[in-house]
Amino acid sequence: MLIVALTGGIASGKSVVAEVLGELGCYIHHADKIAHDLMEPEKPAWKKIVAHFGKKILNEDKTINRSLLGKIIFSAEKERRFLNELIHPLVLEKKKEVSSRLEKERHY
């Protein structure tokens, strides 16, 4: 199985390229979507984020207030590092799980 990483700056066309690859039958791992899913209420990353930043980080429906979280992590390097060190390994783990399943099922 060939794995390709698609990276680039803001508005560089990553989404367009991913869409075309998807139309050609490629499976697309959207790291942002995986990260957002990991931060849904009561999931392990959510619990660690709330434990670290406190309940002030939550909206009324218990979802993480991404705007507030963004303000915090972009104003304090230590906080940004905490979040990256929490989320990045979980995203990679999830991507590996899906890739392994796809390879076993020959969906590539």
**Structural domain containing residue 36:** 29-105
Q: How high is the pLDDT of residue 107?
A: 57
**One-character DSSP codes across 14-37:** HHHHHHHHHHTT-----HHHHHHH
pLDDT tens digits along 44-99: 899 999 999 999 999 999 999 999 999 999 999 999 999 999 999 999 999 999 88
Residue 7 lies inside a defined structural domain of this protein: no
Residue 68 lies inside a defined structural domain of this protein: yes
Q: How high is the pLDDT of residue 108?
A: 52
The CATH number for 39's domain is 3.40.50.300
Residue 3 lies inside a defined structural domain of this protein: no
Contact yes or no for 38/94 (Cβ under 8 A)? yes
Q: How high is the pLDDT of residue 32?
A: 87
Instruction: Count how many domains the chain has.
Output: 1
Contact yes or no for 42/50 (Cβ under 8 A)? no
State both tokens at 26. 């490629």
* Residue 28 φ then ψ, to 5°: -110, 125
